[in-house]
Amino acid sequence: MTIVDLKQRLQEKISQISEPNLIHNKFVRPQRLMKTLTVIEKKFDDSENTQPLDEKIFKTINRLKKNGFGDLTRRDLKNLAWALGKKLPSENEKMLFTQLGKEIINYFSKANFDLLRLVYFPLLYTYFSFEKKEVDKTPSTWVLLRNILSQNKSKLFMDLRKPKPWMTTLVDHAEILSDQPTKKFVRDFLQDNDQNRISAELESLRISASSWFWDDLIRSSIKSIKNMKEDEYFKIIPRFLLLLEKNKLYTTDILVALLERYARTSQREKVHEVLKHLALDQWGNPQYEASSGWVNVNVDTKKMVIQWFVKADLEAFFKLFNQNADIQRFNYWMRFIDQITFSQIFLGSNALNSKRDEHLKFRKMNRGRIKELAGSTTSTNNAFLLKIGNVYIVDFSETGNACYFYNRLPYKDYIGKIDIKTLRNQEICIDRQTRNGNWQPRFDNALARLGIFAKR
């Protein structure tokens, strides 16, 4: 091999090693060293932004009150940034909302960038440290704090040789420092099955669990229900029910939003069992005026839920607890469902003591709504009552019993065990109809005389 050939091969090897994209193919990356470096950097960042003891913060506040800003060191100024989220023993509210807090935040708003770089993270931590009730009225000092953070964010990011993780998070999610801080997160929050994903994504900001931020995120998500498309809404119901289960504080807000939106869907007549019984547990029976919780929804939405209960009661009476389902009678009374404002089921001993799974489930889900039918009747007989307009209609499951019409409730509602004689009281009833032969036209005429007409 000639000298020329050797030189050429040597140059080729050098050239290969010199290519940037091949460097790591020639040298093993120091993985353990890099991992150690990452740990050290995190420890340094944590120590740099460790919140000082309250004792040190309060000493700085006393020094400020005594000598003003002129004698404060850089460490003192950093302590003041932390102090804005603290409550002094002598104050009823946190420092940011006091007169002294106003002076401190005004001082930082006029500070040079070198100082702001020092106090930026303490101010950021303070921004997230407040609870919803503290920022409900968006105090001017809190808005000023947000403006300071927002206006200096980009400059701080560019100034850092190696941006901190929290700084990168702020830049990636710029809306956090806007007047709609959670808007971008709402869809992710609703569609992501991992409820901790957003928390992990924002971990570097060290947002406390009680922060206004999480409250804003949940409430913004709830508000989004109102304008959801119908198919999107039905898909999201389970997500909100899970959210409600884990965040009891928002039960009323979530329930109201779900019911109001359901009432505007094309499926409002289709009973949603979970929503129905959740509302019953929270606000009581919507058929009773005493159930004041129903003022949370509008009249039309309440009417929808009442119809859910009426339909379920009629289905239970004619199908669930009746061995020979009387579909003809069920369909007849369903023609009036838009006008029915109250329904009541009276179960005989067989239905009350049945161990069938579907019977047990119905009784459990309607605990407090079912009355016992007692007196001189068979164990298989049941009864129901419907209120249409100002008329109370009582009917029975077994043949040989007429249908009774009353202009007032024929029993005392607070009693749980009702004698059948009370429901078949000919002395106070205003009409009585049997179901012999072609009974539907006769019932229509009887109801028409009372001002009741089917709308279906």
The domains of the chain are located at 54-177, 183-268, 312-449
Assigned token pair, 70: 């002129």
Instruction: Give me the mean pLDDT over the 58-65 stretch.
Output: 93
How far is C-alpha 27 from the geometric centre of its chain's CA atoms? 54
Task: Kindly tell me if the per-residue pLDDT of 112 is higher than 90.
Answer: yes
Beta strands 383-388; 370-374: pairing state: unpaired
Which segment of 25-39, 352-366, 367-381, 429-443 scores lowest on mean pLDDT? Answer: 25-39
Task: Kindly tell me if the per-residue pLDDT of 368 is higher than 80.
Answer: yes
Which string of DSSP letters, residue by residue, matches 350-367? HHHH---HHHHHHHHHTT
Q: Higher model confidence: residue 170 or residue 160? A: 170
CA distances from 122 to 39, 233, 275, 456 (A): 22, 40, 44, 66
What band does 289 get if pLDDT is binned at 50, 70 and 90? confident
pLDDT score at 415: 93
pLDDT score at 18: 55
Assigned token pair, 251: 């039960």
pLDDT score at 455: 76
Task: Kindly tell me if the per-residue pLDDT of 411 is higher than 60.
Answer: yes
Instruction: Give me the mean pLDDT over the 284-298 stretch.
Output: 89
Q: 216 φ, ψ to 5°?
A: -65, -40
Query: What sections of 160-272 are H helices per DSSP?
Result: 165-172, 183-191, 197-201, 212-224, 230-246, 251-262
| C-beta atoms surrounding 218 within 10 Å | 20
Q: What is residue 342's three-state secondary structure?
A: strand
pLDDT score at 159: 87
Which H or E run contains 105? Answer: helix 99-109
Instruction: Give me the mean pLDDT over the 149-171 stretch.
Output: 89
CA distances from 401 to 59, 313, 406 (A): 86, 19, 16
Task: Kindly tell me if the per-residue pLDDT of 166 is higher than 60.
Answer: yes
Whole-angstrom distance, CA of residue 325 vs CA of residue 317: 9
Task: Kindly tell me if the per-residue pLDDT of 33 is higher than 80.
Answer: no
Strand-pairing partners, residue 391, are: 388
Instruction: Give me the mean pLDDT over the 278-296 stretch.
Output: 90
pLDDT score at 6: 67
What band does 48 get if pLDDT is binned at 50, 70 and 90? low
What band does 44 get if pLDDT is binned at 50, 70 and 90? very low
Whole-angstrom distance, CA of residue 105 vs CA of residue 144: 7
Beta strands 383-388; 403-406: pairing state: unpaired
Task: Kindly tell me if the per-residue pLDDT of 139 is higher than 60.
Answer: yes
Q: Higher model confidence: residue 15 or residue 273? A: 273
Instruction: Give me the mean pLDDT over the 114-137 stretch.
Output: 94
Task: Kindly tell me if the per-residue pLDDT of 22 is higher than 80.
Answer: no
Assigned token pair, 75: 């460490």
What band does 197 get if pLDDT is binned at 50, 70 and 90? confident
> Per-residue pLDDT tens for 227-255?
999 999 999 999 999 989 988 999 999 99
pLDDT score at 162: 80
Whole-angstrom distance, CA of residue 257 vs CA of residue 222: 7
Contact 199, 164 (CB under 8 A): no
pLDDT score at 441: 95
Q: What is the mean pLDDT of the chain?
A: 88
Which string of DSSP letters, residue by residue, matches 384-403? EEEEETTEEEEEESSTT--E
Task: Kindly tell me if the per-residue pLDDT of 295 is higher than 70.
Answer: yes
Strand-pairing partners, residue 306, are: none
How far is C-alpha 447 from the geometric centre of its chain's CA atoms? 44
| C-beta atoms surrounding 101 within 10 Å | 24
Which segment of 37-41, 137-141, 305-309, 400-404 scores lowest on mean pLDDT? Answer: 37-41
First to last CA, the chain: 105
Task: Kindly tell me if the per-residue pLDDT of 46 is higher than 80.
Answer: no
